[in-house]
Amino acid sequence: MPPTNVHFFRESTGDAPVLDWLRNLRRRDSRAYAKCAAAIHELAARGHEHRRPLTDYVVAGIHELRVRVRRQNYRVLYFFHGRDVAILVHGLTKEDRLPRRDIERALQRKRTFEGSPDLHTYEEELDA
């Protein structure tokens, strides 16, 4: 399977929520940031072939990258656009279950992206 192009969702304001979340994570916990960045690079390499425990299907086309550092769980929600594009739509730190509001936010961003992919694609390389 060819590599997957991974892009960040871009809000109408130009902000990329997952990229902002990752930048804040990098300032707070460089080890967690490095593991999340590695998981995103692995998603790019394996795409649809990526499986549990590193990824999981959530609902309605939304998947999650799963990263654990010490006792903390980090998640990046994403969806596939076509066969070889993944769009990262939401990042979060979770304790137990994935909060419904975060799933709803990811679903809303997915709908927004599908309505205008060019407007809502933010392309930037992620520092490893």
Does residue 127 fall inside a structural domain? no
Of 123, 45, 81, nearest to 63 by C-alpha is 81
E-strand stretches of 1-128: 5-9, 55-59, 62-69, 72-80, 85-94, 121-122
Q: How many domains does the chain have?
A: 1
Provide the pLDDT for residue 128: 54
Does residue 99 fall inside a structural domain? yes
Does residue 35 fall inside a structural domain? yes
Q: Structure pTM?
A: 0.92
Residue range(s) defining the domain that contains residue 97: 5-120
Provide the pLDDT for residue 126: 65
Low-confidence ranges of the chain (pLDDT < 70): 1, 124-128
Does residue 128 fall inside a structural domain? no
- Tracing tokens 């520092």 back to the chain, one arrives at 127
Does residue 65 fall inside a structural domain? yes
Provide the pLDDT for residue 66: 94
